[in-house]
Structure 1
Amino acid sequence: MADQTADLDWRDGRIPISRRFDDPYFSLDDGLAETAHVFLDGNDLPARFGGDFRIAELGFGTGLNFLMAWRAFDAAGQPGSLTFTTFEAFPMTPADMATALAAFPVLADRAGALVAAIRAGDGPYDFGAVRLDIRRGDARVTLPNWGGVADAWFLDGFSPAKNPELWGPELMAEVARHTAPGGTAATYTAAGHVRRSLEAAGFDVTRTPGYGRKRHMTRARMPS
């Protein structure tokens, strides 16, 4: 496990807030709906599932996005597999993760399996046709050293204003370098410098309606 773990406060005893970045881990309105709107719909999922599909993510956090992707993959019923690679500098302890994910009873079975797997070791973790690889450490180091590519990216670091290291042009260029032709990326933020960094890295970028309190979000596609 990484030396540094998440440093948390709890709102209403159930919503984790990062003390380091002063930002919640998921929407104060509805975390499930936010993930579905931003990361699943934002990457045209689950319609693209089939074959050996690969998702990569910046910011694993509670594991909510992974669990939602796993649920959507199973519901799609397409043949093939899902590989989910995620980069996390400050992983939650399994106990904190379990507390956070208890807010989503619909995910209880998968959340229990995830927490138990992380308690057992560093992974990668196999859940049938779904595989999870958590790359612990600073993504500015771990992503350039990753040998894989993704068909879809979930860009879910804390707010660019509070966690600028995870949104810089150099890291967005690495995201692009690790994106398959025709691959996509989505994020809740519509910050101009993030969109410009994605464009400079080679993505076609659009601003679309956001979720909840966020008026806009960003979708990006790598030309085929």
Structure 2
Amino acid sequence: MTTNREVERGWRPVRTADGSLTALHPIHGQAAHDLEGARSEARSRYARPCLLDLVEPGATVRLLDVGSGLGLNLAAALEAVEGHGARLQAVGLELDRRALECAAAMGPDPEPGFERAWSAVRLAFVAALEGRGGVLGFGARSSIELHLGDAAAALAGDRFPGPFDAIFLDGYAPALGGALWDPPFLAALAERLAPHGRLATYTASARVRAGMLAAGLALGLPERVGRKGAGTLAGWKALDGPRVSALDRAQAAKLDRRAERLRVSPGGGKPDGGA
């Protein structure tokens, strides 16, 4: 495993405004999380919009975490689900093992409740890096299957078929490129989303939103996070109710026209129960 010194020469840990940690990518220097608050972003952009803190006690929640990175989004999901007496079954997809090594080398989060969950995730990362699998959770009820490698290739087959109650899409910015934001990959995510499920991402990119529409998903706006934009929520049915609002009509119309041009590509069919 990479030593702490080698990790520091690559991924550089930084403290964010809410006291939690994130890290800067060793090549392009982009932070893995919002510098206004990494912990806050994980909760407010991913766990809360996907309603993971409102699950029924005893339920099992299936999560697909694309771009697991430092594990903060997984920690927010674990904290929310197990905090309600439910069970999380997560699949994590991460290309760069150095991100997992960086997380394993980081110090604790200053908020005890969140640290309890993130510590479990970091231990699972260590186990996965050492080839021992990974189990995380407060009471060993929850689990993670971590795949190290290209996410698009991982979803090209039937290894992770779903359905998933929630999908987190947290790759680096669409402007940096990569298949995670392209219509075929978005269609693959849509195929794995449960009829009642929600897909959450931090980006408000029109290209990404149009790709989601082309895959047959409906869009919504989650709650804003500080001064930042709201990101994007997607699901098979029209999104309403807790923690989501509609796009304005003009914006929605532009996205529909853009999505129509993408629908000439294969993929994007709705599962049973879609609307």
1:80-99 superposed matches below 5 A: 81-92=87-98, 95-99=101-105
1:134 is matched with which residue: 146, 152, 156?
Answer: 146
Aligned to 1:211: 225
RMSD (Å), alpha carbons: 2.5
Please identify which structure carries the higher strand content.
Answer: 1
Aligned to 2:59: 51
For residues 167 and 185 of structure 1, the distance between their equivalents in structure 2, rounded to whole angstroms, comes to: 13
1:187-202 superposed matches below 5 A: 187-202=201-216
Closer, same or farther: CA 186–95 of 1 in aligned 2, 3 Å? closer
1:99, distance to aligned residue in structure 2 (A): 4.2
Where in structure 2 are there 5+ consecutive unaligned residues?
Answer: 2-6, 238-272
Query: Over alpha carbons, which structure has the higher Rg?
Result: 2
1:95, distance to aligned residue in structure 2 (A): 4.9
For residues 235 and 99 of structure 2, the distance between their equivalents in structure 1, rounded to whole angstroms, comes to: 34
- Asked whether the equivalents of residues 92 and 145 of structure 2 are also in contact (C-alpha less than 8 Å), the reply is yes
Where in structure 1 are there 5+ consecutive unaligned residues?
Answer: none
> How high is the TM-score relative to the length of structure 2?
0.71
- Asked whether the equivalents of residues 84 and 131 of structure 1 are also in contact (C-alpha less than 8 Å), the reply is yes
Closer, same or farther: CA 98–119 of 1 in aligned 2, 3 Å? closer
- Whether 1:143 aligns to 2:146 is no
Letter in 1 for 2:43: A
Closer, same or farther: CA 37–113 of 1 in aligned 2, 3 Å? closer
1:199, distance to aligned residue in structure 2 (A): 0.8
For residues 121 and 34 of structure 2, the distance between their equivalents in structure 1, rounded to whole angstroms, comes to: 21
- Asked whether the equivalents of residues 207 and 219 of structure 1 are also in contact (C-alpha less than 8 Å), the reply is yes
Closer, same or farther: CA 173–74 of 1 in aligned 2, 3 Å? same
Closer, same or farther: CA 165–11 of 1 in aligned 2, 3 Å? same
Aligned to 1:41: 48
- Asked whether the equivalents of residues 62 and 92 of structure 1 are also in contact (C-alpha less than 8 Å), the reply is no
Closer, same or farther: CA 94–141 of 1 in aligned 2, 3 Å? closer
- Whether 1:111 aligns to 2:146 is no
Aligned partner of residue 43 in structure 1, secondary structure? coil
1:65 is matched with which residue: 73, 76, 80?
Answer: 73
- Asked whether the equivalents of residues 14 and 22 of structure 2 are also in contact (C-alpha less than 8 Å), the reply is yes
Deviations 1:78-124 (A, max 9, x none): 4xx31111111012365521344634442333433333343333354
For residues 28 and 162 of structure 1, the distance between their equivalents in structure 2, rounded to whole angstroms, comes to: 19
Aligned to 1:122: 131
- Asked whether the equivalents of residues 58 and 87 of structure 1 are also in contact (C-alpha less than 8 Å), the reply is yes
Deviates more, 1:117-126 or 1:214-223: 117-126
Letter in 1 for 2:96: F
1:11, distance to aligned residue in structure 2 (A): 3.6
- Whether 1:9 aligns to 2:46 is no
Deviates more, 1:179-188 or 1:112-121: 112-121
- Structure scoring higher RCO (CA < 8 A, sep ≥ 6) equals 1
- % of aligned pairs identical? 25
